[in-house]
Amino acid sequence: METMGRRFRRLLEDEPYLFTGGIYDPLGAQLAERTGMKSIYLSGYSMALANGWPDMGFLTQTEVTRIASMVASATSLPIIADADDGYGNALSTIRTVQEFVKTGVAGIHLEDQVFPKRCGHIAGKMVVPFEQAIGKYRAAIDTRNRLDRDFVIIARTDAYGAVGGSMEDAIRRGRAYADAGVDLVWAELSNASREPAIAF
């Protein structure tokens, strides 16, 4: 049987553009499927707000994986889930990958922010030191390879909009995360000033 991770990877190979709409609950997943979407994104921002919290690390890993499991059970679409910053250090990231693999989602994205994280669109974000971030992504990849090689690991860098951050740091980190073995890199290019990002 084809895994959800494999289905998502095949979509990336076959589709010229893959629109992955954001949802936060099982009903939203079913509506996305009925409208013809081919994949969906389980939004951490939306899950937090739906539970009455700002997107600042208030939801725990077990709360988010419980929601992910319910959403995965409600749809046949591959889901990429927001796993925040892995909920701590490299050891926490190992557990995070283990728990998300169990939910049935296709993969997760992991941020390089400090714990507890902040929404990518607000001021005051801080990223972990470069070597610590590499260690977390390597821990995620090693765990994925042990449990389900199709499971997708997306590295998100918030370096551009972080305190003291820059486009150069975002590019350096993104390339290093790719070299470390993540499947995809997401450079969060918003910052609190809402200035347009300049692509290099």
Q: What is the CA radius of gyration of the chain?
A: 16
What is the phi-psi region of residue 75: left when phi exceeds 0, alpha when psi lies from -120 to 50, beta otherwise? beta
Place of tokens 């470390």: 180
Letter string b/e over residues 32-48, b meaning 16 or more CB atoms within 10 A of that residue's CB: bbeeebbbbbbbbebbb
Residues 64, 79, 108, 119: which is the catalytic one?
Answer: 119
Q: Known catalytic residue: 119?
A: yes
Element at 54 (helix H, strand E): none
Supply 60's token pair: 């725990």
Question: In sequence order, which residues have a C-beta less than 8 Å from that of residue 173 and are 6 or more positions away?
Answer: 112, 127, 130, 133, 157, 159
**Alpha carbon of 50 to those of 4, 44, 46, 195: distances in Å?**
25, 10, 6, 28
Residues annotated catalytic, as ranges: 119
